[in-house]
């Protein structure tokens, strides 16, 4: 790594991969060197747009470019093999959510990256929305008092969910956000539906936090991202309440018994805080600061494994119609009430 620029290659030429490419190409402290894709025409076009080299094989790119960091943005079901290849080649990496769909695969990735002492981050960019950061600050400052309950609701469109795609690939943000704000979840109960023949495309989870608070997570692919208020987080404490609306649109806070509240919404010229995609820019700022300093990433890939564990716990709770406890070590444990 040079003193002025970090050499970064991108694996993935798809839709969200455009956001990776946009950020990498726009940073003066990054040497964006290459894009790896699966389709020759699409990969070449994307690479030409950003003035970088293109490859159709990860290994060929690594051998030729030798980047300081590899950013991966692949189809949700295609994360494991490519990520493991980069890890075994010994390169620091940054990946998209979900980490993977299988816990054993998640453990393999984390184990092999740990054995090589690799920098290994994951993009839970919702944490970097202005309303989320304001909510976290209010909680940490004690302005809400002890949290009594928390609610996450996020509904949009999607396809069939035979492997609980909505729960794993979309609501992973919900698990991460609720624990980011309220601390560890220690048990889950679940109801799910196959509305219109779309398996497990809508779910409601009842959560219990280690702190004693309770919560709910409502997620759906039987809704629409075009609806206003498609996303809502409510954190209710004994001394106050916070609302996060549509992730980046609005933050509000009321103290208990007070009809006058605090509200934040992006101002006229504040496009940065208004735009959802820019939450990724802020995450990348923190990511590269940590990388340069030799520190762990601000959101380690362990957070991806944790979200997957909670999703799998929810699946088990639904299938067995019981509340399932999650222990502090991150394993699915016995049902509540069992010996």
Is the pLDDT at 102 greater than 70? The verdict is: yes
Rounded percentage of the chain residues whose pLDDT exceeds 90 = 89
Alpha-carbon distance of 154 to 172, in angstroms, equals 11
5-9, 168-172, 199-203, 211-215: segment of lowest average pLDDT? 199-203
What is the Cα 140 distance to its own chain's centre? 21
Q: What is the pTM of this model?
A: 0.94
Residue 74 pLDDT class (50, 70, 90 cuts): very high
Q: Tell me the per-residue pLDDT of 309-333, one tens digit each, with 9 for 90 and over.
A: 999 999 999 999 999 999 655 655 4
Q: At what angle do helices 17-26 and 278-293 cross, to 10 degrees?
A: 60
Q: Tell me the per-residue pLDDT of 25-39, one tens digit each, with 9 for 90 and over.
A: 999 999 999 999 999
Alpha-carbon distance of 29 to 207, in angstroms, equals 42
CA atoms within 13 A on the CB side of 183: 15
- Which residue ranges form the domains of the chain, and what is each CATH number? 6-118 (3.40.50.720), 126-279+308-326 (3.30.360.10)
57: how many CB neighbours lie within 10 A of its CB? 11
User: Distance of CA 112 to CAs 95, 119, 164, Å?
Assistant: 15, 12, 26
Helix or strand or coil: residue 73? Answer: coil
β-pair partners for 207: 188, 215
Residue 196 pLDDT class (50, 70, 90 cuts): confident
Residue 194 pLDDT class (50, 70, 90 cuts): confident
Rounded percentage of the chain residues whose pLDDT exceeds 70 = 95
93-95 sheet: strands from edge to edge: 53-55, 30-36, 6-11, 69-72, 93-95, 120-122
Residue 339 pLDDT class (50, 70, 90 cuts): very low
């Amino acid at each position: 790594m040079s003193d002025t620029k970090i050499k970064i290659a991108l694996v993935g030429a798809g839709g969200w991969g455009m956001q990776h490419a946009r950020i990498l190409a726009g940073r003066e402290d990054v040497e964006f060197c290459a894009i790896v894709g699966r389709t020759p025409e699409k990969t070449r076009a994307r690479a030409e747009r950003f003035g970088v080299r293109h490859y159709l094989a990860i290994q060929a790119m690594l051998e030729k470019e030798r980047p300081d960091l590899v950013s991966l943005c692949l189809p949700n079901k295609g994360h494991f093999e490519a990520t493991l290849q980069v890890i075994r080649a010994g390169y620091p990496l940054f990946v998209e959510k979900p980490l993977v769909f299988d816990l054993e695969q998640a453990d393999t990735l984390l184990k092999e990256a740990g054995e090589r002492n690799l920098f290994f981050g994951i993009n839970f960019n919702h944490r970097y929305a202005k309303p989320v950061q304001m909510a976290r600050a209010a909680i940490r400052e004690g302005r809400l008092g002890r949290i009594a309950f928390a609610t996450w609701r996020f509904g949009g469109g999607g396809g069939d969910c035979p492997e609980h795609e909505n729960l794993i690939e979309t609501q992973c943000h919900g698990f991460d956000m609720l624990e980011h704000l309220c601390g560890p979840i220690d048990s889950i109960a679940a109801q799910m539906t196959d509305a219109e023949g779309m398996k497990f495309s809508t779910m409601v989870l009842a959560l219990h936090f280690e702190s004693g608070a309770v919560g709910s997570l409502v997620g759906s692919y039987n809704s629409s991202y075009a609806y206003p208020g498609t996303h809502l987080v409510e954190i209710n404490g004994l001394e106050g309440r916070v609302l996060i609306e549509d992730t980046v649109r609005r933050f509000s806070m009321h103290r208990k018994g007070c009809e006058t509240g605090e509200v934040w919404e992006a101002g006229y010229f504040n496009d940065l805080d208004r735009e959802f995609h820019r939450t990724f820019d802020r995450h990348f700022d923190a990511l590269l600061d940590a990388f340069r300093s030799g520190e762990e990433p601000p959101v380690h890939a362990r957070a991806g494994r944790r979200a997957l564990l909670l999703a799998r716990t929810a699946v088990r709770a639904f299938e067995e119609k019981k509340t399932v406890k999650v222990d502090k070590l991150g394993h699915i444990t016995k049902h509540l009430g069992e010996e």
